[in-house]
Amino acid sequence: MQSSLDYRTLTGYDTYRDLPRLWKDNGVIVAMDIRLPNASDRTSVIGRTGSGKTQFGMWLLSTQSFDTMPWVIIDYKGDELIGKIAGIKPITYKSVPEKPGLYLLKVLPDEESELSDFFRKVWERGGIGIYIDEGYMIGQRDKWFNSCLTQGRSKRIPMIILSQRPLWLSRFVFSESSYFFVFDLTDNDDIKRVRSFVRTRSGEDIGDQMPPYHSRYYDVSRRYMAKLGPVPSGEKILALIERKIPKEKTRFL
Ligand SMILES: Nc1ncnc2c1ncn2[C@@H]1O[C@H](COP(=O)(O)OP(=O)(O)OP(=O)(O)O)[C@@H](O)[C@H]1O
Ligand SMILES: [Mg+2]
């Protein structure tokens, strides 16, 4: 019998601080055989509105390498959870950050060309992580965004891209992704698009309903699929992120 144990739980640990390490070290986790994106992978997080993408995306970000390299969150929505991160540094299009840490670039829908030029600078520099919630605001044919996607591995540009309408995104987001996290999807055209990149187990379809905040994990190179339970609460995720942001060195005169 397929039981609810089939859902790999991301909660239930005493401490969330060690969760990324637990994914690797803890016996249960090893048995789960799940790898998380590294500092050069592209990752897609997909699901209908309200399915839990943003909360999951922030958790995934908390496992990433902004303690050793800069990561920029590109935010169109003035997201509440992102806005609460203590220690995040606001930036403008003018320059790309060099030091490790978490940076926030607020973007307006009519700033496509400025954003494109920002991706050119990221592509030129490399070694910068990019997190985008609702990337469909970026033109599907944007040359520099697509260059970051297609050459991100060699240039060390890890990217996490969240989307509720996969049909509106550049195809390169999906063709270049090493990992997919697929939450509940309802639109038939979106399901079709995702189905062309993500393999399910036999007898299962990517359009089959998911319980609230659960996702399907897909590791492209191993063609490995697992189901994941909900991530921890917003507060716990914030604590995980804030703990990892490098502290500014205080200068003593
Ligand atoms: N793991 C979870 N446990 C409990 N509540 C959750 C969880 N994930 C998300 N939620 C709650 O569900 C609501 C929707 O989640 P979220 O904002 O992550 O969805 P979304 O897919 O990003 O939606 P949208 O496409 O509208 O941005 C939020 O109020 C959030 O607090
Ligand atoms: Mg969201």
**Over the stretch 141-179, which tens digit does the pLDDT of each residue have?**
999 999 999 999 999 999 999 999 998 899 999 999 999
Q: Which residue blocks in the chain are alpha helix, DSSP H?
A: 19-25, 27-32, 53-62, 80-83, 112-125, 143-151, 171-175, 188-195, 234-244
Report pLDDT for 210: 86
Choose one of 10, 213, 237 to mutate for the ligand 1 pocket test, by most ligand atoms within 8 angstroms of C-beta.
213
pTM for this model (two decimals): 0.89
Compute the distance between CA of residue 102 and CA of residue 56 in angstroms, rounded to an integer: 17
Q: What atom of ligand 1 comes closest to residue 231's alpha carbon?
A: 1
57 CB within 6 A, ligand 1: no
Residue among 248, 231, 249 nearest 81 (CA): 231
Report pLDDT for 12: 38
Does the domain spanning 38-244 belong to CATH 3.40.640.10? no
Ligand 1 atom 25: residue of nearest CA: 49
**C-alpha count within 13 angstroms, C-beta hemisphere, residue 135:** 30
Q: What angle do CA 214, 205, 172 make, to 5 degrees?
A: 80
Tens-binned pLDDT, residue by residue, of the chain (253 aa): 333 333 444 543 333 344 444 444 333 333 345 778 999 999 999 999 999 999 999 999 998 999 999 999 999 888 889 999 999 999 999 989 999 999 999 999 889 999 999 999 999 999 999 999 987 778 889 999 999 999 999 999 999 999 999 988 999 999 999 999 999 999 999 999 999 999 887 778 899 998 888 888 899 998 888 778 788 888 988 998 999 999 876 666 5
Could you tell me how many residues make up the chain?
253
Please say whether the beta carbons of 23 and 217 come within 8 A.
no
